[in-house]
Amino acid sequence: MASALLFTSSNAVSDASDGQQTVSDYPKGTIVDDPYSIPKQDINDMLLHIQAGIQQDKKQKAVSAYATNSLNDNRAASGIYDYIVIDSDYVYSYEEAPNQQPTLDIQKAPTDVSVYDPSVAEDTYNNVESVNTDTYYNLDHTYADPNMLSSSLAAQSSFQIADGIGGRQTIQRAGGYLSTLLQLPKDSEVQQEESAYNYSGFSSGAYEADMGLVYDSSVGYNLNRRGWKPTMTIKRNSTVASNSNMVSGYNDVQFRNAYASDSNVVLYVWYNYNGKARMKITGTAICADRACTTEQNTSLTTIIETDSSSLNISKVDKWKLLSTVVSNQNHGRNKATYSSIKIDNTLVPSSAFDSPQTEAATITRDFSGNNNKVTITVSG
């Protein structure tokens, strides 16, 4: 099994002329760009899997486990669907957009790990134990004062990010998946020296998963707009070094499109979805398709999953919520507000939240009433 899997959407333009453009031979008349002459049956099988997954997701939007923590957007089922499957050899990037033929773009990751951009895997921490100074927090992770409504906390357990700054909130709670409503920051609240990330994920033994969004300052039809693109990294033993690395620039399923700044998205994270690691994001994109032929707000659902069920991660040690900036000078700004934080569709209680960890950041938590909110503000 590969030691790590990494995917990041990019602005790289895929050269369709290198592959096969076929409509009638594939399910739903899908336009397939295959530069590698993959057997037609293998492509058919992948398309059937992806298209069945999209239909299943559309049906699940009406199920309470999904609807309870979903955006109030009736356009979601008729909006854009981007579905990315990462296997040990290829990345299959599929899009269904309104009034367009579905497309499948197939790309292969390079075997030369030297081209890997280490800024993508920035979730590497040197933790330093410190005294817990939160007077409302007991050692058993329960609040001593039940009347306390919210708290604004600096680093309760100081830590350092190897290549940047940010804040991390971990959660100790068993369950199959985490879901949360994520408020993305305004453009004025983001300043990146290299890159900025808002993401969830999990830790499980040797595995570390980062799943969420990365800021992109060149999207839109003329590449002069800003927005947020999905990114997913699965690491084993903190190592990203295998031929399954999805290097930034090698996949462009969203091309010029992105989730809008200053908007809400719903983020789902699974550690074992039929043996696969999986992420789903639903929100508002700035364009009606990946080429951004029309710049208009459009509902977009993105699903990214590992193809191999051999991951089969058995449990989660902890979940996490982060906002970070990659910077060699420890300089930059970012912000993320996570609310309605749930495990298996059950609101996570305050007792499950660990002490926050920050470097040049502040974490504010609100557990008043039915609230369940974590705001991470990075300001270095």
State the DSSP string of 218-279. Answer: EESTTS-EEEEEEEEEEEETTB--STT---TTS--SSTT--EETT-EEEEEEEEEETTEEEE
Instruction: Round to whole Å and give the CA distance between 164 and 19.
Output: 39
Task: List the structure tokens of 327.
Answer: 């910077």
Tell whether the torsion through CA atoms of 112, 114, 116 and 122 is positive or negative.
positive
pTM here is 0.82
Pairing of strands 276-285, 150-153: unpaired
Report the distance separating Cα 95 and Cα 31, nearest Å: 10
Token couple for 266:
């719903």
Check residue 22 and give its pLDDT.
Answer: 53
**What 8-state DSSP symbol labels residue 353?**
B
Side chain identity, residue 254: Q
Q: Residue 144: is it exposed, middle or buried by C-beta count within 10 angstroms (0-12/13-18/19+)? A: exposed
How deeply is 52 buried, as exposed, middle or buried, from its count of CB atoms within 10 A (0-12, 13-18, 19+)? Answer: exposed
User: How many whole angstroms separate alpha carbon 28 and alpha carbon 312?
Assistant: 31
Residues 244, 233: Cα–Cα separation, whole Å: 11
pLDDT of residue 214: 93
In a 3-state reduction of DSSP, which class is residue 65?
helix
Do the Cβ atoms of 336 and 375 come closer than 8 Å?
yes
pLDDT tens-place values along the chain, 380 residues long: 334 566 665 543 343 444 555 556 899 999 999 999 999 999 999 999 999 999 998 887 655 444 455 554 455 557 899 999 887 788 889 999 988 999 999 987 544 433 333 333 334 443 333 222 232 222 222 233 333 334 444 444 456 777 799 999 999 999 999 999 999 999 999 998 889 999 999 999 988 999 999 999 999 999 999 999 998 888 887 554 222 333 333 345 568 999 999 999 999 999 999 999 999 999 999 999 888 989 999 999 999 998 866 788 999 999 999 999 998 888 999 999 999 999 999 999 999 999 999 999 999 999 998 889 999 999 98
- Nearest to 272, CA basis, from 171, 172, 175, 173: 175
Per DSSP bridges, beta strands 333-343 and 373-379 are antiparallel
What is the structure's pLDDT at 142? 27
pLDDT at 158: 55
Judged on CB neighbours under 10 Å (0-12, 13-18, 19+), 121 is buried
Tokens (6 digits) for 228: 């947020």
Strands 103-108 and 31-33: parallel
pLDDT of 75 reads 53
- 3-class secondary structure for 9-61? CCCCCCCHHHCCCCCCCCHHHCEEECCCCCCHHHHHHHHHHHHHHHHHHHHHC
Question: Would you call 7 exposed, middle or buried from its count of C-beta atoms within 10 A (0-12, 13-18, 19+)?
Answer: buried
